[in-house]
């Protein structure tokens, strides 16, 4: 495989126990829209917004154009968008963004999960599957996750994965009308040994 950026071949679906990730497809548009609508109160405090307003509220418009754009970005080699599945059903989304090749070989991960499967180990397992794919198949070197310090649920994810705290990025992302601080957690290929998935157990009830 050549160094990134380059068109990214669609990875095969990845599973561990009851959890899986696979590349988002047009057939997921209606389900994702429904989940975004049903989980507005759950997700809204952590969603990025546009300074000065603008942009549709997630779940209020068709996601088909968004999914087309996601697949175009994958073909350009700059990002990959997955759905997270639980018992085969779509339960959330995981995005790999800011993919960099050359001397850096790095990427960022973001995610959301439906409240009805929260607390079952779904998110840590999905993130572990994604990181192992990025290290062992795309041959990246570093992956980071940036989290608002108030987001206790996401902080538990990186703690369970044993990701290293690298510091705070002041006023990093615009959320709910304000520029919000984010804490950065990272892991490199040398740190994961046999893989990130080996650090955690499969998702449970």
Tens of pLDDT, residues 144-189: 999 999 999 999 999 999 999 999 999 999 998 899 999 999 999 9
Task: Look at residue 1 in the predicted model and tell me its pLDDT.
Answer: 44
Report yes or no: 142 and 188 within 8 Å, Cβ to Cβ: yes
Which 3 state secondary structure label does DSSP give 46? helix
Q: For 190-198, what is the mean pLDDT?
A: 91
Answer whether 149's CB lies under 8 Å from 168's CB. Answer: yes
Q: Is the pLDDT of residue 197 over 60?
A: yes
Give me the helix-helix angle, 122-136 and 152-161, nearest 10°.
Answer: 50
Question: Looking at residue 48, what DSSP letter applies?
Answer: B
**What average pLDDT does range 78-105 have in this prediction?**
95
Structural domains in the chain, sorted by start: 14-145 (3.40.630.30)
Residue 113 pairs in a beta bridge with 92
Report the percentage of the chain scoring pLDDT > 70: 91
């Amino acid at each position: 495989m050549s160094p990134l950026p380059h068109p990214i071949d669609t990875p095969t679906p990845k599973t561990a126990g009851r959890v899986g990730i696979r590349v988002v497809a047009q057939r997921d548009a209606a389900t994702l829209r429904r989940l975004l609508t049903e989980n507005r109160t759950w997700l809204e405090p952590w969603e990025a917004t546009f300074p000065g307003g603008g942009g549709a509220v997630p779940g209020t418009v068709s996601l088909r154009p968004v999914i087309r754009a996601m697949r175009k970005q994958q073909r350009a080699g700059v990002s990959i968008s997955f759905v997270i599945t639980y018992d085969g059903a779509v339960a959330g989304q995981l995005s790999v963004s800011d993919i960099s090749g050359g001397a850096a070989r790095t990427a960022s991960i973001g995610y959301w999960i439906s409240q009805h499967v929260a607390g079952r180990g779904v998110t840590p397992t999905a993130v572990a599957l994604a990181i192992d794919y990025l290290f062992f198949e795309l041959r990246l070197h570093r992956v980071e996750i940036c989290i608002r310090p108030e987001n206790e649920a996401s902080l538990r994810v990186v703690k369970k994965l044993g990701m290293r705290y690298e510091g705070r990025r002041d006023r990093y992302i615009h959320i709910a009308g304000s520029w919000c601080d984010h804490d950065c957690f990272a892991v490199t290929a040398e740190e994961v040994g046999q893989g990130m998935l080996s650090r955690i157990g499969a998702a449970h009830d």
